[in-house]
Chain A
Amino acid sequence: QSALTQPASVSGSPGQSITISCTGTSSDVGGYNYVSWYQQHPGKAPKLMIYEVSNRPSGVSNRFSGSKSGNTASLTISGLQAEDEADYYCSSYTSSSTWVFGGGTKLTVL
Chain B
Amino acid sequence: EVQLVESGGGLVQPGGSLRLSCAASGFTVSSNYMSWVRQAPGKGLEWVSVIYSGGSTYYADSVKGRFTISRDNSKNTLYLQMNSLRAEDTAVYYCARVIAPSGFDYWGQGTLVTVSS
Contact = CB atoms under 8 A, between A and B. Distances in A.
Interface of A: 1, 3, 32-36, 38, 40, 45-48, 51-52, 57, 89, 91, 93, 96-104
A103 B44 contact: yes
Nearest to B56: A97
A103 B59 CA distance: 19
**Chain B interface helix/strand/loop/mixed:** strand
Interface residues of B, number: 24
B94 A45 contact: yes
B104 A36 contact: yes
Contacts, number: 69
A65 to B, nearest CB: 15
Contacts of B109: 45
Of all A-B residue pairs in the complex, the 10 with the closest CB atoms, nearest first, are A36-B103, A51-B103, A104-B44, A45-B107, A99-B47, A93-B101, A101-B45, A34-B102, A52-B102, A51-B102
B108 to A, nearest CB: 7
14 contacts: A33-B102, A45-B108, A45-B109, A46-B94, A46-B104, A48-B103, A48-B104, A57-B105, A91-B45, A91-B103, A98-B47, A98-B59, A99-B47, A101-B37
Interface string B52-70: 0000101111100000000
Given A45-B109, A98-B47, A34 B101 contact: yes
Contacts of B37: 46, 101
Interface of B: 35, 37, 44-47, 50, 56, 58-62, 94, 99, 101-105, 107-110
Given A45-B108, A45-B110, A46-B94, A36 B102 contact: yes
Given A1-B61, A45-B109, A98-B58, A93 B50 contact: no
B60 A38 contact: no
A26 to B, nearest CB: 17
Contact of B60 (A1, A33, A51, A89): A1
